[in-house]
A and B are shown apart, each in its own frame.
Chain A
Amino acid sequence: AQSVTQLDSQVPVFEEAPVELRCNYSSSVSVYLFWYVQYPNQGLQLLLKYLSGSTLVKGINGFEAEFNKSQTSFHLRKPSVHISDTAEYFCAVSDLTGYGGSQGNLIFGKGTKLSVKP
């Protein structure tokens, strides 16, 4: 079974500052890794995902994440945040136990609330 730990429940940061949201996972098998963003009263939007290949993944809105297998981490970063980045961010993991070797169910972390202050 997999699990996801998001170490920070809240991250306050000033506008134009860099930010890192931490995510660690545990799994005994190969996994896919995801970051989603949720704005208030809305569903989830995919920011980026790691399936295979390059460990540095670039996503939408200037975000990127790096897969570190030895540290079982997938931290999300942005070099300069905007007020509009204020939202809840969820890290998620899935394995390959879905039908026909496809993606299995998503397991979510508890989320990190990013608050960008002017």
Chain B
Amino acid sequence: GAVVSQHPSRVICKSGTSVKIECRSLDFQATTMFWYRQFPKQSLMLMATSNEGSKATYEQGVEKDKFLINHASLTLSTLTVTSAHPEDSSFYICSARSLLTPSGGFYNEQFFGPGTRLTVL
């Protein structure tokens, strides 16, 4: 259980185009989803946190107009990189968390997707 998928796994696009990345929780309802960015040989940096049905909360320094996040359902969140440029090339990883277990307790764990490698030419 607790599987998170991302699509696509790899994308190459031209500068100025927009790219959408999907993050799905396959076997649980994710009340919260997180988007991270990882540059080569570096750690994961949290970009934003999204709760189902509400606006995403962006970390300081992350442009919300450039990185559009939508969390329209309990199993799907999307990250759209608008007008992508070469400096946006990175590895984007999502994670998902469910607040409630079947017995009503909390899941205190984020489950990570496999990541999406974005290359902007």
Q: Which listed segment binds A: B11-19, B68-76, B77-85, B111-119?
A: B111-119
| B93, B97, B114: the one within 8 Å of A103 (CB) | B97
| A36, A42, A100: the one within 8 Å of B99 (CB) | A100
Give every chain A residue within 8 A of B49 (Cβ-Cβ).
105
Interface-centre pick from B6, B31, B108 (highest chain A CB count, 10 A) = B108
Interface hits, A16-31 → B, CB 8 Å: none
Give every chain A residue within 8 A of B108 (Cβ-Cβ).
32, 51, 102-103
A91 vs B34: C-alpha distance when bound (angstroms): 18
Chain B positions 51 through 71: 1 when the CB is less than 8 Å from some CB of chain A, otherwise 0: 100000000000000000000
Q: Which listed segment binds B: A56-64, A66-74, A78-86, A107-115?
A: A107-115
Chain B residue with the shortest CB-CB distance to A91: B43
| A43, A90, A103: the one within 8 Å of B43 (CB) | A90
How many chain B residues touch A (Cβ–Cβ < 8 Å)? 26
How many chain A residues touch B (Cβ–Cβ < 8 Å)? 22
> Is B43 touching A111 in the complex (CB atoms < 8 A)?
yes
> Is B109 touching A49 in the complex (CB atoms < 8 A)?
yes
A46 vs B2: C-alpha distance when bound (angstroms): 12
> Is A46 touching B109 in the complex (CB atoms < 8 A)?
yes
> Is B97 touching A90 in the complex (CB atoms < 8 A)?
no
> Is A41 touching B115 in the complex (CB atoms < 8 A)?
yes
Give every chain A residue within 8 A of B113 (Cβ-Cβ).
43
Give every chain B residue within 8 A of A108 (Cβ-Cβ).
43-44
Chain A residue with the shortest CB-CB distance to B115: A43
A32 vs B107: C-alpha distance when bound (angstroms): 13
Instruction: In the A-B complex, list the 4 residue pairs whose CB atoms are closest, starting with the nearest.
Output: A103-B108, A44-B112, A43-B112, A43-B114
Interface residues of A (CB under 8 A from B): 32, 36, 41-46, 49, 51, 90, 99-103, 105-106, 108-111
